[in-house]
Amino acid sequence: MSFKPHGIITPVLTALDEQENFSEENYKKFIDHLIRSGVHGIFSLGTNGEFYAFNAEEKLKIIRAAVEAVDGRVPVYAGTGCVTTKETVELSKEVEAMGGIDCLSVISPYFTAIKQDDLYRHYKAVATAVKLPVLLYNIPARTGNNIDYKTVAKLAQFDNVIGIKDSSGNFDNTLKYIENTNPRLSVLAGSDSLILWTLKAGGDGAISGCSNVFPELMASIYNYFKAGDFEKANEAQKKIRPFRNVMQMGNPNSVVKRAAQLKGFNVGPARAPSNIESKEIDNALLEVFKLYD
């Protein structure tokens, strides 16, 4: 399996209209903007894409639109993780049959408390059901389940398991993936505050929610690092802190979507009840934007 996730990959916001229906036209325009701004990949239906808010029919329509918008310019990642193994396998197979997808991103099952053996069997079922590369997605604060590095190491026996995104926010957890699993696996930061440190430790990039709002800045962290300019990479990394602080004032991915709206992109609201209507957050975002002018 030769596919290697790398760089700054945007978990693209899913554009909606005011009635909270998918806006394909605005979605494609936003994806085009991100690619022109230099991101290295597009991830349809990640957490920032509100994967949890759509039914299977909507998900397939959204992913298909992403493939069309990207048009082969950068790799396309598609989120197919669901609560049950059966549903995850079914959606993954449908997305694979669609064509145009470079990699499946599969979040660990959520809401239900499961053990590491259950996680192993879940991902084994997905990896053996499809031929596409599979990127594991660890975000225990949202799912309640942390994918242990020993489980990741065990899953590396499947050639199409090609890496993991770590959104635990625990850098030691990320280091365990890098240091104690198969070196062919890509390890991607899921917390934007840890992008540079993940790269320095041997990781391959990040799936960056902030790149929806500041795509050039986030891509520059990776680009400067690859060019060997650690000082500029660190400057770029530090610049994102004020925005990250505002993200903590509400549901983080809803704040990101509101920020994109305030910057003039027609991505619409988040689906209720996650939509943000807060003058305090709006004012904080507008103040942060002044720092980047």
Q: What is the pTM of this model?
A: 0.96
**Beta strands, E only, the chain:** 7-12, 41-44, 76-79, 103-107, 134-138, 161-166, 186-189, 205-207
Over the stretch 44-102, which tens digit does the pLDDT of each residue have? 999 999 999 999 999 999 999 999 999 999 999 999 999 999 999 999 999 999 999 99
Q: If DSSP codes are grouped into helix, strand and coil, which group holds residue 10?
A: strand
Residue ranges and CATH numbers for the domains of the chain are 7-230 (3.20.20.70)
For 241, other C-beta atoms within 10 Å of its C-beta total 12
Taking a C-beta distance cutoff of 8 angstroms, is the pair 136, 146 a contact? no
Backbone phi, psi, residue 265, to 5°:
-95, 135
Taking a C-beta distance cutoff of 8 angstroms, is the pair 108, 119 a contact? yes
Taking a C-beta distance cutoff of 8 angstroms, is the pair 127, 134 a contact? yes
Whole-angstrom CA distances from 9 to 48, 218, 282 are 12, 9, 26
Burial class (CB in 10 A: 0-12, 13-18, 19+), 122: buried
Q: How far is Cα 220 from Cα 7, in angstroms, rounded to an integer?
A: 10
Q: Which of 137, 127, 132 is nearest to 11 (CA)?
A: 137
* pLDDT classification of 172: cutoffs 50, 70, 90: very high
Q: Could you give the residue numbers annotated as active site?
A: 137, 165
* pLDDT classification of 1: cutoffs 50, 70, 90: low
Burial class (CB in 10 A: 0-12, 13-18, 19+), 96: middle
% of the chain residues with pLDDT over 70 = 100
Residue 78 forms beta bridges with which residues? 44, 104
The pLDDT assigned to 2 comes to 77
Mean pLDDT of 128-153: 96
The pLDDT assigned to 210 comes to 97
Over the stretch 257-267, which tens digit does the pLDDT of each residue have? 999 999 999 99
